Amino acid sequence: MSRLNLDDFSDLIERPDSGTRRDAEERRERLAVPPGALGRLDELGEWLSAAQGAVPVRPVERPRVVLFAGDHGVAELDVSGRPAGGTHALVRAVLDGASPVAVLARRAGVPVRVVDAGVDCDPELLPADVVRHRVRRGSGRIDREDALSPEEAEQAVRLGMAIADEEADSGTDLVVLGDLSVGGTTSAATLIAALCGTDASVVTGRGGAGIDDLAWMRKCAAVRDALRRARPVLGDQLELLAAVGGADLAATTGFLLQSAVRRMPVILDGVVSAACALVAQRAAFRAPDWWLAGQVSGEPAQAKALDRMALEPLLDHGVTVGEGTGALLALPLVQAAAALAADLPEKQAPEKQEPDKPESDKPEPEKQASAQD
């Protein structure tokens, strides 16, 4: 197998059809509801129409939540509100229907798929269809060692690509993307700081579980140390993911790139998916045209990444739980935009009324009679 080069995706990914988007914009001008009255819903409908290559836009009928899961060795430094190696419990909660994303997905009728890329637990503790793709148990402590070997990084990216192909082939028309991880926000902050050229303190947040000031200082130090290891490999995205990413982040990056190749729209969730999207953008600059930012997570690194990709979040409800929850909350907004763009009637043209003829132009009764004869 030849070595994977993420830069090759730049030639494989095209932008959503601009001609279709113009047609969608023209159709919007003809609708009975005045332009601008629906706010951002108009923009969403036109974006989705371009992604589908269809006017009017088709409804989003087969969405799916996809969650990549993995543990991160840097969690050993007590930088997370959850215990190191605790991703197994997060996965179990989703599978048991006891997590926020599982509750919302069940209510909305959206299937959830969990992909174990690097959970640190015995495989027997999780269903076979969840663990069958696992690259390794956990990822290395990025402040002092690589998260993955080069071979594992490539394997993880190819895993994400394969999952994207499976979803596209099965008819999934939009993906809600999230993560299940302990320590993942530390790796994500490192990736974003490296790619944006900022310091650790600028990107370090308190994570979905929340941490106190001492834990934040430890996390900031871990990002600082990991950055020293990340900067020398900035020129190669695969090496960067191996150095300071993790199996779940590498798989998510591959998923995002291949989803763009397959023209499958994706809603991003929090800082982890934003970090992977930023790596993917570095490889293929057109790729972000296929993604929406679902929500503001409160993580400063996410704001940095989204600004760099010119993606404006759809929601800002203060949801920090992660796991794809915020992105799933944005799904009804996208579905509503599609329904309005497709089903609203067009303006009716006013009926033309013929002007009354002047009295002098009316035929005389005798002439009408003679004409009938």
Sequence ranges of the domains in the chain: 6-12+61-333
Share of the chain above pLDDT 70, in %: 92
Query: For 196-219, what is the mean pLDDT?
Result: 87
Where is average pLDDT lowest: 19-33, 52-66, 117-131, 172-186? 19-33
Mean pLDDT in residue range 270-294: 97
Query: Dihedrals φ, ψ of 143, to 5°?
Result: -75, -15
pLDDT at position 23 is 93
- Say which residues have a Cβ less than 8 Å from residue 93's Cβ, sequence separation at least 6: 99, 102
For the chain, percent of residues with pLDDT exceeding 90:
83
Q: 32-70 burial, b if ≥16 CB within 10 A, otherwise e?
A: eeeeeebeebbebbbbbbbbbeebbbeebeebbbbbbbb
pLDDT of 56 > 50? The answer is yes
* φ/ψ (deg, to 5) at 230: -80, -40
Q: Which CATH class is domain 6-12+61-333?
A: alpha beta
Q: Which residue has the tokens 């935009």?
A: 337
User: Is the per-residue pLDDT at 366 higher than 90?
Assistant: no
Taking the CA atoms of 55, 60, 61 and 63 in sequence, report the sign of the dihedral they define.
Answer: positive
- Is residue 373's pLDDT more than 60? no
Average pLDDT over residues 62-88: 95
Any idea which of 67-71, 74-78, 298-302, 362-366 has the lowest mean pLDDT?
A: 362-366
Task: Report the amino acid identity of residue 311.
Answer: L
* Distance, C-alpha 181 to centroid of its chain: 17
pLDDT value, residue 361: 55
**Average pLDDT, integer, range 120-145:** 96
The pLDDT of residue 367 is: 47
- Residues forming a β-bridge with 293: 268
Give the mean model confidence (pLDDT) for residues 121-149. Answer: 96
Confidence of residue 211 (pLDDT cuts 50, 70, 90): confident
Q: Which of 306, 310, 313, 304 is nearest to 196 (CA)?
A: 304
Spatial strand order of the sheet with 174-182 comes to 112-118, 63-71, 174-182, 266-268, 291-293
Cα 118 from Cα 136, distance rounded (Å): 5
pLDDT at res. 49 = 95
Q: How far apart are CA 256 and CA 148, in angstroms?
A: 19
Residue 180's DSSP bridge partners are 69
Q: Who's near 13: CB < 8 A, 6+ residues apart?
A: 257, 260, 261, 284, 286, 287, 290
Q: Which residues carry out catalysis?
A: 323
Residue 363 has pLDDT above 90, yes or no: no
Q: State the chain's mean pLDDT as an integer.
A: 92
- Residue 24 confidence class, pLDDT cut points 50, 70, 90: very high
Cα 140 from Cα 72, distance rounded (Å)? 7
Among 328, 80, 267, residue whose Cα is nearest residue 186: 80
